[in-house]
Amino acid sequence: MNINKEGSYSTHEYRNLFREIGYTEEEIQARLEQAWNDLFYGAPDVRIYYPADNDKAYMLDTGNSDVRSEGMSYGMMMAVQMDKKDEFDRLWLFSKVFMQHTEGRYKDYFAWHCKPDGSRLSQGPAPDGEEFFAMALFFASSRWGDGPEPYNYSEQAKTILRACVHKGEQGEGDPMWDPANKLIKFVPESPFSDPSYHLPHFYELFAREADEQDRTFWKEAAEASRVYLHQACHPVTGLSPEYANFDGTPAAPQPHGDFQHFFSDAYRVAANIALDYEWFCSDPWQMEQSNRIQQFFRDIEPADYRRYTIDGHPFEEPALHPVGLLATLAMASLAADGPDAEPFARLFWNTPLRRGVRRYYDNCLYFFSLLALSGNYRIYQ
């Protein structure tokens, strides 16, 4: 398979790994369109998108029967990548009206989860939502142009990022990135991070699109996150914990659980590293890391995926989201150059969307992998 030596940001070209391994363009596009239709308009046991009122919609976390800033921002990214403006605007309006704070310590942040009717279940934000909201909004501005508020996409994105960086400087609240080390936090008040929140490829673009005064910050954040991921990923297995301290070591157990191990949140790390490699190709370690994690899972069937210590010891507890894990391992093939890259891409191609109660998280990761491996997870500027 062909590995880019220069990132898509510079070349404006995107690898279609599926085509490289023998699938036709017609097959690939049909697969992508079918997945979109299934997730947004399909059967009750597969869809995760639901219209609300006449002008809104939400992405349902089917395992928890709630709506999350994670899922809403993911849905917006899916929609802008697929050039689906109506669905994008509906998701954004729901998020804006029901989830974004207009005052107080969380002003301009988003409540991390609410009910499908928009009533909030928690006021606190989760930073992975904010970074995806901002990036999707910048892409929407580039694809479709800014409209009247709240569809002045680029200004909405800048407002979010301004809060993420400067919250607390002249009033209440806390920033989402630690001002000293430039690392994203698990929540604004926490002294630790979540490795799967680290999206240096987004920060590179924020350094070009955010407020002029903050562009140096975002460039430094991209560099800091790349270094951090070296520390958070095990040097032999490639596995990372769900939560990690700012030095990359697993964070201590929290009141709401023990997140020191490789489990659901951590699956996204492999996908994020691969997309950073595809877009910017600035860190050769990302290729080595992608090879490592694929090698670890080489002889494990998806049905046997489990919770693991980061040094690779399995628990009896099975993975809650095996399809999601497989999707991210396949997406790692964008950066991997080892013998497992093609087999994981083929295994993913031959795996359908997940159906049933737990489908939401798996199928979000599935769709992002499908976009990336078909050359359709793109930068819009």
Is 70 a known active-site residue? yes
Using CA atoms, how far apart are residues 155 and 149, in angstroms rounded to an integer? 9
Quick one: which H or E segment has residue 56? strand 56-61
Strand pairing class (314-318; 120-122): unpaired
In sequence order, what DSSP letters do the residues of 235-280 get, joined into one string?
TTT----SSB-TTSSBPPPBTTB---SB-GGGHHHHHHHHHHHHHH
Q: What are phi and psi of 314, to 5 degrees?
A: -80, 145
Q: Which of 38, 61, 70, 214 is catalytic?
A: 70
In the three-class reduction of DSSP (H, G, I as helix; E, B as strand; rest coil), residue 150 is classed as coil
List C-alpha distances in Å: 287 to 195, 230, 236, 273. Answer: 17, 12, 14, 9
Which residues touch 141 (CB under 8 Å, ≥6 apart)?
153, 154, 157
> Are 58 and 52 a contacting pair, CB within 8 Å?
yes
Using CA atoms, how far apart are residues 92 and 56, in angstroms rounded to an integer? 8
Using CA atoms, how far apart are residues 190 and 251, in angstroms rounded to an integer? 11
Q: Which of 265, 278, 283, 340 is catalytic?
A: 265
For 104, the token pair is 């107080």
Separation of first and last alpha carbons in the chain: 28
Active-site positions?
A: 70, 265
